[in-house]
Amino acid sequence: KKKKRNYEHDDAGSDDDVAVTSIAEKSKGQELTFMSIEEIEKVLKSQNHLKECPKELLTEIASRLHRPLTRQFQELAKSIFLKNSGADRKKTVLEMQERISGLWVNARLFEKGVQHWEDPVHGQLVKHLLKTLGSELANTVVMAVAGDHMINVAQPDEPLTPDARLRLINTLPNDIQEHLTKLHASLNGQTLDDFFHQLELLCGPAHLGILLKKPDKRKERQLVFNYRQSLVEQLNVETDPAMCLHLCSVLLFQTATHSMLHIPGRLVPNVLQYLVTSLGADKMAVLTQMQDLVVKHAKLKSSSEGDHEAEIGSVATAMADLLEKIKEIATKKSNTPTDE
């Protein structure tokens, strides 16, 4: 059996080298000190058996003790730092592995939802999936590879932009740059195949050594069910009509196809059209009415002509009246072409 390259780099020397370098770099600006000569002298003077000792002698003793005590203190501090940083790094690596694996599984499940569509919607769904979940995966992989090559990258408050991701890639060794650049470029592709190929290559034994394992049927059903539950929870507390309609359309699509779907808001009308044969006429009428109101509300708010406050308020009231109805349609156990 081929031995997998260990992503964690259990070689303690690697962690030590990085940590020692970090300490050395910090010490250039400010040396880590234990006590000053004056402080050591004060401690000596406080000892009962040294109270009668001449000040000059105490100063001489303090001067001679200062360097070895400082060295021992620095060595102890360094050993504690190395122990803590090594443990923190291994924890970070494990978290990164789990994150990449989880994002990859989700992306694969969303891919199944994309496969229900023909162009041009298919292409738009691919583009959206690459731009969102694909970019998140690519950023995580690039940062994992950077960490694997001992490049310390602080977790950014915001996701890496494409330019920032490319700059980070360009700091890495040439042999890995080629693969990461291809992954970066695949985010602008027309299919998911190239993206998954480049991603799985980088996660393979030659690089990160992360096992990307597709869930079995039972596990997949559980993941899809969990995703549905998370959507229902979001929908239950959502008050924005446009977002409610978005969540409802995704939930109803999953009910009809047993596939997860990741869509931009502009494709909600396409999803509702897809569901015409899955839902009864009464339910479709309510969803279509909400869709029309959402579009009308957006147009009125963006219009610079005339005073539309009264009409905007009227539309908002109509949408509010429909909220609970569309939520019930989306979360009801049975959604069949025949209305009850």
The per-residue pLDDT for range 246-270, each reduced to its tens digit, is 999 999 999 999 999 999 999 999 9
| Phi, psi (rounded to 5 degrees) for 260 | -75, 145
pLDDT in the model for residue 89: 58
CA distance 72 to 35: 12
Residues 231 and 313 in one domain: yes
**Residue 165: inside a domain, yes or no?**
yes
Q: Which pTM was predicted?
A: 0.70
CA trace torsion 250, 252, 255, 259 (10° rounding): -30
C-alpha distance across the termini of the chain, in Å: 58
Q: Of 92, 124, 159, which one is at a domain's C-terminal end?
A: 92
Comparing 125-134, 199-208, 233-242, the range with the smallest average pLDDT is 199-208
Q: What number of other Cβ atoms are within 10 A of residue 195's Cβ?
A: 24
- If pLDDT is split at 50, 70 and 90, which confidence band does 11 have? very low
In a domain, 317, yes or no: yes
> Is 207 part of any domain?
no
Look at residues 34, 58, 92 and tell me which one is the last residue of a structural domain: 92
State the pLDDT confidence band at 16, using cuts at 50, 70 and 90.
very low
CA 60 centroid distance within chain: 58
- CA neighbor of 312 nearest in space, from 265, 320, 286: 320
> Does some domain include residue 210?
no
Residue 34 has a pLDDT of 75
Instruction: Please answer whether residues 183 and 141 qualify as being in contact, where contact means their C-beta atoms are separated by less than 8 angstroms.
Output: yes
Q: What 8-state DSSP symbol labels residue 132?
A: I
Give the Å distances, CA to CA, from 143 to 69, 72, 243. 40, 36, 32
Whether 259 and 314 map to the same domain: the answer is: yes
- Judge if 249 and 286 occupy the same domain: yes
H, E, C per residue of 252-268? HHHHHHCCCCCCCHHHH
CB burial of residue 251 (10 Å; 0-12, 13-18, 19+): buried
Domains contained in the chain, number: 3
User: Rounded to whole angstroms, what are the CA distances from 48 to 44, 53, 66, 286?
Assistant: 9, 10, 21, 91
Q: Tell me, yes or no, whether 118 and 192 share the same domain.
A: yes
d(CA 312, CA 308) in angstroms, rounded, equals: 6
Establish how many alpha carbons lie within 13 A of residue 155's alpha carbon, considering only the half-sphere containing its beta carbon: 7
Does 274 have pLDDT greater than 50? yes
Residue 114 sits at φ, ψ, to 5 deg, of -65, -35
Say if 150 falls within a structural domain.
yes
**CB 277 within 8 Å of CB 131:** no
- Report the alpha-carbon distance of residue 268 to residue 266 in Å, rounded: 6
Q: What is the CA radius of gyration of the chain?
A: 31
Phi then psi dihedrals of residue 32, to 5 deg: -75, 115
Model pLDDT, residue 88: 58
pLDDT at 60: 85
How far is the C-alpha of 242 from the C-alpha of 246, rounded, in Å? Answer: 6
Give how far Cα 298 sits from Cα of 22, 101, 312, Å.
54, 39, 9
Closest alpha carbon to 9 in 69, 99, 97: 97
Out of 202, 235, 267, a domain closes at 202
Do 174 and 248 reside in the same domain of the chain?
A: no
> 65 in the Ramachandran plot: left (φ > 0), alpha (ψ -120 to 50) or beta?
alpha
Q: Which run of H or of E encompasses 315?
A: helix 309-331
Are 286 and 221 members of one domain? yes
Domain that residue 312 falls in: 217-331
Is the pLDDT at 107 greater than 80, yes or no?
Answer: yes
What is the reported pLDDT for 61? 84
Looking at residue 306, its pLDDT comes to: 64
The span from the CA of 84 to the CA of 46, in Å, is: 35
Does pLDDT of 297 surpass 50?
yes
pLDDT, tens digit, 9 for 90 and up, residues 169-189: 998 888 899 999 999 999 999
Domain co-membership, 26 together with 110 = no
Q: Residue 246 in contact with residue 240, Cβ under 8 Å? A: no
Amino acid identity, position 15: D
Say which residue, 249 or 46, is predicted with more confidence.
249
Give the residue from 310, 313, 269 showing the smallest Cα distance to 289.
269
